[in-house]
């Protein structure tokens, strides 16, 4: 019996595409992960954030344009919620950060009241 060249199954291709999509998403999202702190003789009680505050498991919070969650399996994960423009003319435009909306806008250097045409991008 002669076998012809094999083609990857649809499942394998889908898994590879999913892995690539997740990799790109994680790279662009500017996320940080901190494993659970386990002290000898005691199980973890929650997640400690960068300010030293302990958060219960299965909680979510947002502060200073960062969204965080505490998970009993994975620990603390925090991701930037800043929305940034891309694809605008960097010679004619400059970025301005709005802390209240967690958004960066591109405006014209010569006329800061005028927005630059850009594509919005969540991440970096």
Kindly report, residue by residue over 47-102, the tens digit of the pLDDT. Answer: 988 888 999 999 999 999 999 999 998 899 999 999 889 899 999 999 999 999 99
Q: What is the pTM of this model?
A: 0.61
Clarify whether residues 54 and 67 are in a common domain: yes
Question: Per-residue confidence at 2, pLDDT binned at 50, 70, 90?
Answer: low
Instruction: Measure the CA–CA gap between 9 and 34, rounded to whole angstroms.
Output: 36
Q: Is residue 19 part of a domain?
A: no
Instruction: Measure the CA–CA gap between 103 and 105, rounded to whole angstroms.
Output: 6
User: C-alpha distances in angstroms, 68 versus 37, 47, 62, 63, 81?
Assistant: 16, 10, 6, 8, 10
**DSSP secondary structure string for all residues of 52-82:** S-EE-TTEEEEETTEEEEEETTTEEEEEE--
Clarify whether residues 59 and 88 are in a common domain: no
As for how many domains the chain has, the answer is 2
Q: Which domain, by its residues, includes 53? A: 30-38+45-81
Q: How many other CB atoms are there within 10 angstroms of residue 83's CB atom?
A: 16
User: What single DSSP character describes residue 115?
Assistant: B
CATH of the domain at 57: 2.10.70.10
Q: Is residue 108 part of a domain?
A: yes
CATH of the domain at 117: 2.20.25.590
């Amino acid at each position: 019996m002669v076998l012809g060249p094999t083609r990857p199954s649809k499942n394998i291709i889908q898994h590879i595409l999913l892995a690539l999509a997740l990799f790109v998403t994680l790279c662009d999202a500017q996320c940080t992960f901190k494993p659970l702190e386990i002290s000898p003789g005691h199980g973890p009680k929650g997640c400690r954030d960068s300010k030293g505050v302990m958060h219960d498991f299965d909680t979510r919070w947002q502060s200073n344009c960062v969204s965080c969650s505490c998970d009993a399996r994975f620990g603390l994960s925090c991701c930037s919620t800043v929305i940034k423009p891309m694809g605008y003319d960097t010679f004619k435009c400059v970025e301005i950060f709005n802390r209240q909306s967690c958004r960066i806008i591109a405006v014209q250097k010569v006329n800061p009241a005028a927005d630059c045409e850009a594509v919005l991008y969540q991440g970096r």
